[in-house]
Amino acid sequence: MIPKDLLEILRCPACVRNGPDAGLLDYIREKWLVCRDCQRKYPVRDGIPIMLIEEGDKYRDVPVEELD
């Protein structure tokens, strides 16, 4: 589980350069961080978000409903 205060400051690394409010993330099923802007999906493994753009790209076209 990712602490709420950390979730409030985490941003999508691909979108954050667009401004301080860009790249907001939604925490899905305690396993994924999904960017509201670009739809990249970053997995959370053992409580650690894998915030690499390349990792988020792998799941970009996968619908949220299909993430396990």
CB-based burial of residue 12 (10 Å sphere; 0-12 exposed, 13-18 middle, 19+ buried)?
Answer: buried
If one counts the domains in the chain, the total is 1
Digit-coded pLDDT (tens) for 10-67? 999 999 999 888 999 999 999 999 999 999 999 999 999 999 999 999 999 999 999 9
Q: Has residue 1 got a pLDDT over 90?
A: no
42 closest CA partner among 67, 17, 8: 67
Name residues whose C-beta falls within 8 Å of residue 59's C-beta, 6 or more positions apart in sequence.
32, 40, 41, 42, 43, 67
Residue ranges making up the domain that contains 58: 4-66
Return the CATH number at 59.
2.20.25
Q: Has residue 68 got a pLDDT over 90?
A: no
Integer Cα distance of 29 and 27 in angstroms: 7
